[in-house]
Amino acid sequence: MDCIFCHIVSGKIPSDIVYQDEKVIAFRDINPQSPVHLLVIPREHFTSLADLTEKEAHLMGHMVGVANQLARDEGISGTGYRLVINCGKQGGQLVPHLHLHVMGGRQLSGQLG
Ligand code: AMP
C-alpha cells in the first residue's frame, strides 16, 4: 500500500522517531505547529479513526497512554498539551493513516476549528 506513514513504519521513509513498541510508533511532525509536535500512529494501517470499532479500544487506550508518557518526557505535562485526531476530509485529515497529534510547548488557541 502506498501510504506515507506505513513507509515510516517500515523504515522506507526516514523520520525522527521518539518511541516505538510492537503496536505503535511515535515521531516528530515534519511541519510542527508547536514547539512539541509529535504523531503517535499504529503500526497497523487504519485509514482513519472511523475505521476503529470497540475491538480496537485497547489500541486507542495504548496510543493515549504513549502520548501522555511522551508529554512527560518532552516536559510539557505540567504546562498542558493537546491531543488531536483529525478524521476525514472535513475533519482536516490530510494523511490517510490514523494518527494522534501531541502538541504543546506554547499557549494553544482555545478554538476548535
Ligand atoms: P493531518 O492533517 O491530521 O492528517 O496531519 C498530518 C500531519 O502529518 C501533518 O501535521 C504533517 O505535517 C505530518 N506529516 C506529513 N508527512 C510527514 C512525514 N513524512 N514525517 C512527519 N510528519 C509528517
Please name the residue whose Cα sits nearest to atom 17 of ligand 1: 30
Expressed in angstroms and rounded, the spacing between residue 55 Cα and the centre of ligand 1 is 26
Helix (H, G, I), strand (E, B) or coil at 55: helix
C-alpha distances (whole Å) from 16 to each of 7, 27, 34, 71 are 13, 5, 16, 16
The reply to whether 97 belongs to the active site is no
Q: What architecture does CATH give domain 4-104?
A: 2-Layer Sandwich (3.30)
pLDDT tens figures, 4-44: 999 999 999 999 999 999 999 999 999 999 999 999 999 99
The backbone torsions φ and ψ at residue 49, rounded to the nearest 5 degrees and listed phi first, read -55, -30
56 CB under 6 A from ligand 1?
Answer: no
What is the Cα–Cα distance from 5 to 99, expressed in whole angstroms?
A: 9
pLDDT at residue 101, rounded to an integer = 98
pLDDT tens figures, 81-104: 999 999 999 999 999 999 999 999
**46 touches 37 (CB < 8 A):** no
